[in-house]
Chain A
Amino acid sequence: MDSKLIEIRDLRKTYTRGRETVEALRGVSLDIGQGEFVSVMGPSGCGKSTLLHVVGGIDRPTGGTVRVNGTDIGAASEAALTRFRRDHVGFVFQFYNLLSILSALQNVELPLVALGYPRLARRKMADAALDLVGLADRASHRPAELSGGQQQRVAIARSLVSNPKVILADEPTGDLDSASARAVVDIMRELNGDLGLTFVVVTHNPRVAAVGTRIVHLSDGQVVQDESLGSGPRVSRSLGPGEMDGSQASEGAIVTALQGEDHRGWPG
């Protein structure tokens, strides 16, 4: 494992929902290294998404410490957290969370605009990111003109375009059909394997979780199992036919994309 990118110590998070106080995280401790692909599993309401939000700096811990690439999430100012999210984190959400008024390319460009890249540079980088997820020919399409799988791939392109330290994915396949889910998982795994990007993926799906290097099981806001599946970034390998749900699988999609070959045959 590479050096620690994320250090979580005794993380506690409590929030109120109406009159109810919810103890979402109850003393989570975890280290995640650079280049890891960590899957976080557990039943609904066990604190998976909350953990991801705190690590991503869109929420703050109630107790304990979370350090991501040296940034103390609990102690950082609002401005520092904004810079942290902009510079170090890419988010992928279950419901894609693309801006409906922007094209795929404009959505991917957004983090680069925030970073202040000039127009030409960000256009090239966004094009490359879309190409990486096999959607170069959908650049001008709006989210409503794309399938769920394509939208999620756009979201992945947006999350990686600014070269973040870590990509945090919250149920990235939760709203997708199996073929699209497979394609999304392939992309994430290959980005991890080929580019060394760190992934923390929240999922209910054991097959999705299994493509990672490590599975962390949460229950009632606590880590109940931390299971290592291998050491370091794994070599790219697409899920085989039927590994998601028995339908046709796509082979070597990211590798093909990286090689600049035709990828029109991608599912999605």
Chain B
Amino acid sequence: MGPFRFSYIAWNGLWQARLRSCLTIAGVTVIVAVFVTLSAIATAVGSVVSTTPASTRNLVLIDKGATDYCQGQIPAVVAEVLRSTPGVARVVPMLHTGLRWKGQIVIVRAVELKDYAAMAGMRIVQGDPLRRGRSVLAGEVLARMNGWQVGDTLELAGQELKLAGIFRASGLLNSELWTRLEDGQRLLSWGDSYSAILVQASPGADVEALRDRLAASPFLARETDVGIEPEVYATMNRSFEQVTRVMNGISALALIGVAFGVYNVVAMIVAEKTHEVAILKAIGLSAGQVTGIYVQEGLVQAGLGYGLGLLGGLAILTYLNAASAVSFMSVPLTLDLASETALAAGLLTAGLSLISAWVAARRAAAAPVAETLRGV
């Protein structure tokens, strides 16, 4: 029985003030649903970036001082130097940049024809491999988003390109448009420079030693920064992680709103019921028991709001997924409710509600009985 001995008083109180109870529950519901949605978006953003394939056998060279593949221009001579470097099995120069297409940014990656099939574990799911002569491949997600079919002609940067095939890869690659290096350079008017160069280490070669060697080369060090592919991705991811952190922070702030809401409601309840509190104490309930009644009122509302908020959040995520309504760098995000998110929301809601309800109720329960009754 213990702390729930007086639960029926809490339930009766909630039922008597049905409108207020419903509004409080609705408020918590909205906040939890917002938390769930923002957390799912943050998780999906992180997931898109982190699932983009990266090999620990690959090194990436980007223009000196650049923070990602899309920035800077590396002269073609760098690729020539790399090809003659011991321990290097393959050199894949590429262009990687964003182009505006009908109001959206499309990431274009251009590689030499002989190299693209070796990139990133891509698989052609419709049409043909990339071929010579103004052809492009589209990532499956990008094609689906834009309703592109194999054989369509796309006008990009004032040039017409034929969609030769559609490929499937993972992460951000799925929303890229791939073309031949020469077509890419023409498309972007970049001459014969590259935005990044991928270097595959020879089998048996020490990748870190190779990286150190390239980084120590005065010529390469002047032109480029070099890193092992996952490390370069991790550097790029830092900006995405900041986005994720901001969204998680907003989500957490939203949940702190639950605490204020519950505190205000419980404070309002006990302010209205100071006389009732005094009566309960006069007939022998301890301050702890009286506090427990109103804490339960707060927790029941928060608990119901949490449950409904989870359901509401799920409904929102389902809708957003169905409508492909949320995208990140042109990648539509698949939003899932992670069990960790549900647990975190539950613990935060319960913890913050408990503390705020307890503070409000305890204050009321500590009021002197005689003075309260005398005030009638």
Contacts and interface: CB of A to CB of B under 8 A. Distances in A.
Contacts of B283: 85-86, 90-91, 110-111, 114, 158
Quick one: which of A79, A87, A110, A115 has the most chain B CB within 10 A?
Answer: A110
Interface string B1-18: 100011011001101100
Contacts of A82: 281, 284-287
Contacts of B284: 82-83, 85-87, 89, 111, 114-115, 162
Contact of A116 (B5, B8, B276): B5
A58 B1 contact: no
Nearest to B289: A114
Contact of B275 (A78, A83, A97, A114): A97
Contact of B376 (A78, A95, A116): A95
Contacts of B278: 58
Nearest to B276: A99
Contacts of B121: none
Nearest to A58: B369
Quick one: which of B15, B281, B283, B289 has the most chain A CB within 10 A?
Answer: B283
Contacts of A85: 281-284
Interface string A97-110: 11111100010001
B279 interface: yes
Contacts of A56: 282
Name the interface size band of chain A: 20 to 34
B370 interface: yes
A89 B12 CA distance: 26
B289 A58 contact: no
B373 interface: yes
Given A93-B373, A99-B276, A58 B282 contact: yes
B191 interface: no
B373 A58 contact: yes
A87 B285 CA distance: 11
Interface residues of B, number: 29
A99 B13 CA distance: 10
Contacts of B275: 97
A148 B142 CA distance: 75
A98 B9 CA distance: 13
A53 interface: yes
Interface string B179-209: 0000000000000000000000000000000
6 contacts: A85-B282, A89-B284, A98-B279, A100-B276, A110-B283, A113-B5
Nearest to B375: A17
Given A58-B373, A100-B16, 9 more contacts: A15-B371, A53-B369, A58-B281, A79-B286, A82-B281, A82-B287, A85-B283, A85-B284, A114-B285
B9 A101 contact: yes
A49 interface: yes
A106 B8 contact: yes
A209 to B, nearest CB: 22
B329 interface: no
A49 B371 CA distance: 11
B9 A102 contact: yes
B370 A99 contact: no
